[in-house]
Amino acid sequence: MSTNTQEKPCNCFKETLDRVKKLYLEKGKVPEGAIDVDFRWQGQGFILSEGEFAPVNPKIEVKFRSLKRDGSHAKNMSKAEVSMIATHCCFCGRKYQRNE
């Protein structure tokens, strides 16, 4: 990758969302006369650090049945989520520029 590509901001998430919106509307997936139509990434993050970041952070869902004191397993599943912060764009592979 050239140096110029590294310095140019990555717009992949915006461009992809715009493409999905355009195709979705062109194919008539939104009913005629619908109002307040909104397209946005789920799991959007708000990061206070400077530099480039992906606007969304993928999550990993964890599920398990805990072991009870009597040695049997719990009836209900325990759940947790772990959010990941990407260092590279998942669309173009460009490394995000961050202030170290």
DSSP code for 95 = B
pLDDT (tens digit, 9 = 90+) per residue, 18-67?
999 999 989 999 888 889 999 988 878 777 778 888 888 888 888 999 89
Can you tell me whether residue 67 is helix, strand or coil?
strand
Residues in the chain: 100
pTM: 0.66
What percentage of the chain has pLDDT greater than the value 90?
36
The pLDDT value given to residue 3: 43
In this predicted structure, the answer to whether residue 2 has a pLDDT above a threshold of 50 is: no
Structure tokens at 46: 């708000």
Please say if the pLDDT value at position 79 is more than 50. yes
How high is the pLDDT of residue 33? 85
